[in-house]
């Protein structure tokens, strides 16, 4: 492959990973990311951009996989402490007792 084709492949791969990692929907995402990467691509040497891009792509893929695995194998990660205790109790077949409400003392 020619160096130019390699650069285009790397550029597209990093944009795909950034878009997959993005939280906002595609319609609301700005084009600033793509424009910034294009400017960097045009202003740097091919070898520097290719090696840096491959490192960034590997990092972004790894982070996405880490988040997927964390969500799959540790589903309690985003719960509050009380919700985590209740979920753990349900997991072992128990229900948490209903706590009495504190009434205002007059």
pLDDT per position as a tens digit, 68-101: 898 888 877 788 888 888 888 888 888 888 877 7
Q: Is the per-residue pLDDT at 53 higher than 70?
A: yes
**Mean pLDDT for the stretch of residues 43-56:** 75
Q: Which pair of structure tokens corresponds to residue 98?
A: 């209903």
In whole angstroms, give the CA distance from residue 11 to residue 41: 8
Q: Quick check: pTM over 0.85?
A: no
Quick one: what percent of the chain has pLDDT higher than 90? 7
In whole angstroms, give the CA distance from residue 38 to residue 49: 11
DSSP codes of every residue in 39-72? HHHHHS-HHHHHHHHHHHHHHHHHHHHHHHHHHH
In whole angstroms, give the CA distance from residue 40 to residue 18: 15
Q: What is the mean pLDDT of the chain?
A: 80
Predicted confidence at residue 105, as pLDDT, reads 53
Q: Is the per-residue pLDDT at 106 higher than 60?
A: no
- Residues in contact with 1: Cβ distance below 8 Å, sequence separation at least 6, in sequence order: 9
Predicted confidence at residue 62, as pLDDT, reads 93
Tell me whether residue 57 is exposed, middle or buried, using C-beta atoms within 10 angstroms of its C-beta: 0 to 12, 13 to 18, 19 or more.
middle
């Amino acid at each position: 492959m020619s160096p130019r084709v390699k650069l285009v492949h790397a550029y597209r791969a990093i944009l795909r990973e950034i878009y997959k990692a993005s939280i906002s929907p595609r319609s609301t995402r700005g084009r600033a990311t793509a424009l910034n990467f294009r400017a960097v691509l045009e202003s740097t040497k091919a070898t520097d951009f290719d090696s840096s891009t491959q490192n960034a792509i590997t990092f972004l893929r790894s982070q996405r996989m880490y988040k997927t695995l964390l969500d799959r194998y540790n589903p309690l990660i985003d719960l509050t402490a009380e919700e985590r205790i209740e979920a753990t109790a349900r997991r072992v077949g128990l229900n948490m007792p209903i706590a009495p409400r504190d009434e205002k003392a007059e």
